[in-house]
Amino acid sequence: MFSALQLSLLILHVCLALHVCAKQFNVNCNSNYVSYYGQNSARNQKQLGEYCKDATEDVIVLAFMNGFPNILLNFANACETTFDGSSLLHCPNIAKDIKYCQSQGKIVVISMGGASGAYGFLDDSDASSFADTVWNMFFKGTATQRPFDDAVLDGIDLDIEGGSNNGYTAFISRLRSHYASDPSKKYYIASAPQCPFPDAYLGSTLNSAWFDMVYVQFYNNYCGLNAYPTWFNYDDWDNWAKTKSVNKNVKIFIGAPGSPSAASFGYVDGATLSNIYNDVRAKYTSLGGIMTWDVSQARTSGLASSIHGQFRALP
């Protein structure tokens, strides 16, 4: 039996945990909202910091590093300047905004890959070497050219939609060894597979490497949100999380288009998405929240406000 003091402390602990979930990113919560930034999908993309002036998003994913290991960055209208004598983007305004977003309790990660680009590794050695480069250019390492100057990102996201599947497990292993060298900060590994299971490009990596978050793209495929409940396959991803994932506490996110024009098909309105989320939340402990492509689309359509309102109203 609990004493009165123990019961009071337990209630306080639960209340504080709920408060943290409501106010800032917490990877253990099931009400985190992730959105991609950088591709100006709705053609009205604002400066990154503008999206961090309120509590709507918990995770901002910068899209994209669409070329590697020869680094190519593309953030559309958000950054168009380069280092002198180089094609590498230099983005001091994004750097400033990364720090501001982090000060507001959000995390900012960079997405590698995307639907188009020139990327992929020759082998494990190539991938491990590139992990060193990423650590030095975007995290706590040192490099002569850092696209975001002294801003330190919170992690990486793998949105691999082409090329070979070589080296990604080795890349993650080496990057996590760098993460471990800096105990002052929590760093994350995420991925954004398409919903057909297993994923065509990251299937083997998902089974052999550590992931903290998986943003499943439930759109542009037969298993998308528009196919709920018949073909919607969150159950496949929950089963993977609990039986095959290296990290048995990995969080799975419901990936959704931010508006009808954000995907070829798969968009559902806020009320429908809310019903799907509530159903998944009631059934699966692996749920981490919702992801949208992209922030400009979701903010313009009102879907972002709908998601934020639902999450903040959760008991």
The span from the CA of 223 to the CA of 203, in Å, is 16
Q: Which of 50, 57, 80, 161 is catalytic?
A: 161
Judge residue 4's burial from the number of C-beta atoms within 10 Å of its C-beta, 0-12 exposed, 13-18 middle, 19 or more buried: exposed
Q: Which helix (H) or strand (E) holds 160?
A: strand 155-160
Nearest CA among 131, 197, 204, 129 for reference residue 166: 204
Inter-residue contact 264 to 286 (CB < 8 Å): no
The span from the CA of 163 to the CA of 312, in Å, is 40
Nearest CA among 216, 271, 211 for reference residue 245: 211
Nearest CA among 104, 108, 188, 106 for reference residue 148: 108
Please say if 161 is a catalytic residue: yes
Nearest CA among 48, 165, 51 for reference residue 110: 48
Q: Catalytic positions, please? A: 161
